[in-house]
Amino acid sequence: MLKKVLLPLLIIPAFIFSCSKSDDVVPVASLEGTYKLEKLELVVDGNALSIPSSSLNSSVKFKSDGTVEVDDELVFFEGKYTYDATNSKVSFEDDFDPKDVIKSTVDIEKTSEGKYIFKTAKVSFDETIDFNNTTLEQELIFFSLFEIDEESATYKAFAAKVGDNPKDYSLHYTFAKQ
């Protein structure tokens, strides 16, 4: 009788303590699927401006092999990805040019409506931009600026709110999973 009770009691702790912190990172497949871009926002010093992007309704596909495919018209991260559910982050690595591997990490939020918001890291711009030494986030923000209609009332109100010396820029991509 003692063997029947003692053996299970010795095995249970082995299962409990064999779990490591790395078990908290959700495998790549947890983000797997196709997502449609519904909104792109430029966020400057906490103020958001919806960008009427020509790439709305474009798709991003997170594949089970850890790669991401992006429609041609969408300026977004490409290459390989990993998803860390514990910290709500997606890390991208683009090794198109092996001499210059580009790595970026974005925060991801899931809204109550089931949308996914990918938030780039905040970056700063100064008066001179060295295009040989920009981050991918800076390039994404720079190219998104071409989509803005500077004559619109919405943009003028946004510019007035932000002022003449903006500090922090980021992009928020809102996707719906298909």
Asked if 37 contacts 177 with a C-beta cutoff of 8 angstroms, the reply is no
Q: Is 96 inside a domain boundary?
A: yes
Structure tokens at 137: 């986030």
pLDDT at site 134: 77
- Total of domains in the chain: 1
pLDDT at site 25: 38
Confidence of residue 6 (pLDDT cuts 50, 70, 90): very low
pLDDT digits (tens, 9 = 90+) for 36-95: 999 999 999 999 999 887 788 899 999 999 999 999 888 888 899 999 988 899 999 987
What predicted TM-score, i.e. pTM, was given to this entire model? 0.77
Q: Is 5 inside a domain boundary?
A: no
Domain interval for residue 86: 24-177
Q: Is 1 inside a domain boundary?
A: no
Q: Is 10 inside a domain boundary?
A: no
Asked if 68 contacts 89 with a C-beta cutoff of 8 angstroms, the reply is no
pLDDT at site 127: 62
For 36, phi then psi, to 5°, come to: -105, 130
